Amino acid sequence: MSESSFVDYIKILCRSGRGGKGSAHLRREKFNPKGGPDGGDGGRGGDVILRGNSHLWTLLHLRYRKHIFAGHGRDGMKDNKTGRSGEDSIIEVPLGTVARDVETGELLLEIIHHGEQKVMVKGGKGGLGNTHFKSATNQTPRYAQPGEPAREGWYSLELKLLADVGLVGFPNAGKSTLLSVISAAKPKIADYPFTTLEPNLGIVHYRNDLSFVMADIPGIIERAHEGRGLGLRFLRHIERNSVLLFMIPVDSDDIGKEYDILLHELKQYNPELLDKKRLLAITKCDLADQELLSGLEPDLPDVPYVFISAHTGRNLQQLKKLLWKELTAQEDD
C-alpha cells in the first residue's frame, strides 16, 4: 500500500533566535577624545510563527522538515545603532491545527482562520546598549546587556478538521458514497472495510448559494477508543464538527445496538462529544421496501432520523434540510 498523503500529526524541533548583545562602545573622535557611551541595543531574535492557510488540508509538507530554526538577532553597534532583528520562521499550517509542548503536553495555540498568525516560540530580546546605563554617577559605563537566549524544544502539531458535519459510522456504512453524491469530493469507494484510510472533505450545496462542509471520517469499530482499527487515529477530527451524522445501513442486524456502540466509542474518547447535535441516517434503503422501513421505526434511537439511498437519491434533499436546520438552530423556511 502506498504511503498516505494525509498527515494529521507531526513532531518538530523548533528553535527561536537569540537576542543580539548590546554594545558597550564609547564614542572616541579626534576633537572629542572622551565622548560618552553610544552603544546600540541588540536586535531581537526571530520568532517561530504558525500561519493559517486555507489551501492546505494536511501536514504532509512538514513531514520531512523536522528542524525549524529562526534567525538570531545581530549585536548592537556604535552610534546608537540597533542590531538587525533575526528573521522569523513562519510555518504554514491548515486551519484547525493545534500546537502543544511535547514535554509538558500544554496546549499552546490553535489556528482556525486563514492568514491568522500566532507565535509558537518567542525569540529572545536584544540586550540594552551601554547608553541606557549612563547616569550622573557613571558617565562612561563600559558594560551592556547580553541578549536573551534562544528557546528550543519539541512541539507537536495536530490537525483537527474544521467541518460543519462529521459522518460517524462503521466501515461500509455508506459514508464515502454519500459524500461523493452530495458534494464534489471523490473519496475512494469499494466494498471492503477501511476503504477510507484518510478523512475526506466535501462542500455540500444546499440552496440559494448556501453550503456547508461535510467530513467523511474513516470507519470506527468497537473499542476504537482503545486503539483498535483506525478509530483512535481519526476520532480527534470529530471534535471540531458542529453536527454528527450517524450512518447505519438498513440491513444492519440491530440499528439501535450499532448506534449505542458508536455513541459509546465517542463517549470513551471524549465525553464532550455527546453534547454535539446528532442526526441518524439509515442508509442503503434501496435494498428495503416501505413495509420493512415502517417496521424499523419503533425501535430507532430517539434522535432525528431519515431513510436515505445515495444510489437512488432518496431523501437526500430532506437530509440536507435536516442538517441545515441543525446547523443554523432555526426552522428552515
pLDDT digits (tens, 9 = 90+) for 216-229: 877 666 654 455 54
Residues 176 and 322 in one domain: yes
Residues 38 and 185 in one domain: no
Q: Which of 159, 180, 200 is the C-terminal boundary of a domain?
A: 159
Residues 144 and 77 in one domain: yes
Would you say the pTM of this structure is higher than 0.75?
no
Residue 148 CB-half CA count within 13 A: 16
Residue 333 pLDDT: 41
Residue 223 backbone class (left: φ over 0; alpha: ψ -120 to 50; beta: rest): left
Q: Could you tell me the CA-to-CA distances from 266 to 16, 34, 217, 232 in Å, in that order?
A: 38, 75, 13, 10
Answer whether residue 16 is part of any domain.
yes
What CATH number is attached to the domain comprising 302? 3.40.50.300
Element (H, E) at 282: strand 277-283
CA angle 171, 174, 178 (to 5 degrees): 140
Range of the domain at 322: 165-328
Residue 29 pLDDT: 77
Residue 331 pLDDT: 43
Alpha-carbon gap, residue 126 to 106, rounded angstroms: 27
Residues 46 and 94 in one domain: yes
Answer whether residue 136 is part of any domain.
yes
Q: Which of 126, 159, 192 is the C-terminal boundary of a domain?
A: 159
Residue 187 pLDDT: 46
Query: Considering its fold, how many domains does the chain have in total?
Result: 2
C-alpha cell at 164: 460543519
Residues 179 and 286 in one domain: yes
Burial of 276 (0-12, 13-18, 19+ CB in 10 A): middle
Residues 315 and 183 in one domain: yes
Residues 134 and 55 in one domain: yes
Answer whether residue 333 is part of any domain.
no
Residue 189 pLDDT: 42
Residue type for position 277: K
State pLDDT tens for residues 149-198: 999 999 999 888 778 898 888 877 788 888 888 886 554 444 444 444 56
C-alpha cell at 93: 499550517
Residues 225 and 137 in one domain: no
Residue 223 pLDDT: 55
Residues 121 and 191 in one domain: no
Instruction: Using 50 as the pLDDT threshold, list the residues of the chain that sit under it.
Output: 1-3, 187-196, 224-225, 229-231, 330-333
Residue 92 pLDDT: 95
